Amino acid sequence: MGLKATGVGRVPDASERSHTDPPRISVRFRGPTPCRRARGRRGVAYSLVVADLDTFPEDWTRALAVVAHPDDMEYGAAAAVARWTGQGKSVTYALVTDGEAGISSMPPAEAGPIRRAEQIAGCREVGVDQVEFLGHPDGAIAEGLELRADLAAIIRRHRPDVVISINFRESWGGPSWNHADHRAVGRALLDAVRDAANRWLFTDRGEAWAGVRFVAFSGSPSPTHWVDVTDSFDAGVRSLACHNAYLRALEGDMASPDAFLRGPAAATGERVGVDLAAAFEVIG
């Protein structure tokens, strides 16, 4: 199977680019002022003051990352994963979809297998060798009992201490609208952590697991914690670069892994006093 994307050179349409929708905010920090966001007009740089971030707890051994699409972890969280696997922690990825509807120039039947392979390759770059695909429809994930049951089942099977995902809030910050799949998976995931701990729910989906301490979301407009990724940043870039077919269909900064990831990492790092850092909203 070739990894060459069809239609290379064409300008992707909005629906194609919106598949991942990472934060497009311009971030400029203004010193140790209280936590406050000043919003500006679209396209105009505005300051984002991230104060009072706590150090991300690292006294755990097993994490499960659950996201909607291939590349979701790579747009901001992968460098932290590389740090954690480098510490000897175990991190498993679960992809709710194959991302088959994420490249408008490529039919889903062709894109799905390619994007799965790219995700597996991206995982290897950050020390993750367990990747599961849950097979829900890309772009049409239904938040409900079926999804909660699937997520509770995988939580019960892997018994993680920590669950990781990406932003499920309505916005990435400012005038933006998050992808429906991200919103659905994030909310269902928080529910599923609770469901997984309840022995009377989804009784045919494994033994209850109440050991999840918290769920951490990267890309949130309301981060609470930070992780130093100075030494693992390059691995995160390599992980995103593995999404070759997807990236080749993009344009601008999103198509350049290092350029896209370095700005937010440097800005968060400046705020907390390191070169490069990743921010997470921790719930739990």
Neighbour count for residue 29 (Cβ, 10 Å): 16
- If the CB atoms of residues 69 and 136 are measured against Zn ion, the closer one turns out to be 69
Using CB under 5 A, count the residues that bind Zn ion.
4
Instruction: Estimate the crossing angle of helix 233-241 against helix 108-125, to 10 degrees.
Output: 160
- If the CB atoms of residues 170 and 275 are measured against Zn ion, the closer one turns out to be 170
- Stretch touching Zn ion by CB under 5 A, among 69-77, 187-195, 215-223, 229-237: 69-77
Chain position whose Cβ is nearest to Zn ion: 69
74 binds Zn ion (CB under 5 A): no
The per-residue DSSP string of 167-217 comes to --SS-SSSS----HHHHHHHHHHHHHHHHHH-TTSSTTS-S------EEEE
Q: In whole angstroms, give the CA distance from residue 189 to residue 241.
A: 27
Neighbour count for residue 151 (Cβ, 10 Å): 27
Structure tokens at 129: 């060798």
69 binds Zn ion (CB under 5 A): yes
Smallest distance from Zn ion to CB 92, Å: 18
- If the CB atoms of residues 68 and 235 are measured against Zn ion, the closer one turns out to be 68
Amino acid making up residue 133: F
Task: Tell me, residue by residue from 4 to 43, as one string, x for binding to Zn ion by CB under 5 A and - for no binding.
Answer: ----------------x-----------------------
Q: In whole angstroms, give the CA distance from residue 1 to residue 159.
A: 35
243 binds Zn ion (CB under 5 A): no
Smallest distance from Zn ion to CB 55, Å: 27
Helix (H/G/I), strand (E/B), else coil: 133: strand
Smallest distance from Zn ion to CB 52, Å: 28
Owner of token pair 């309840």: 198
Q: In whole angstroms, give the CA distance from residue 100 to residue 115.
A: 7
- If the CB atoms of residues 53 and 249 are measured against Zn ion, the closer one turns out to be 249
Smallest distance from Zn ion to CB 83, Å: 22
- If the CB atoms of residues 72 and 281 are measured against Zn ion, the closer one turns out to be 72
Would you report the helix, strand and coil content of the chain in percent, each value rounded to 5? 35, 15, 50
72 binds Zn ion (CB under 5 A): yes
- Stretch touching Zn ion by CB under 5 A, among 28-36, 64-72, 189-197, 250-258: 64-72
Smallest distance from Zn ion to CB 68, Å: 5
- If the CB atoms of residues 176 and 230 are measured against Zn ion, the closer one turns out to be 176
Contacting residues toward Zn ion, per CB under 5 A = 20, 68-69, 72
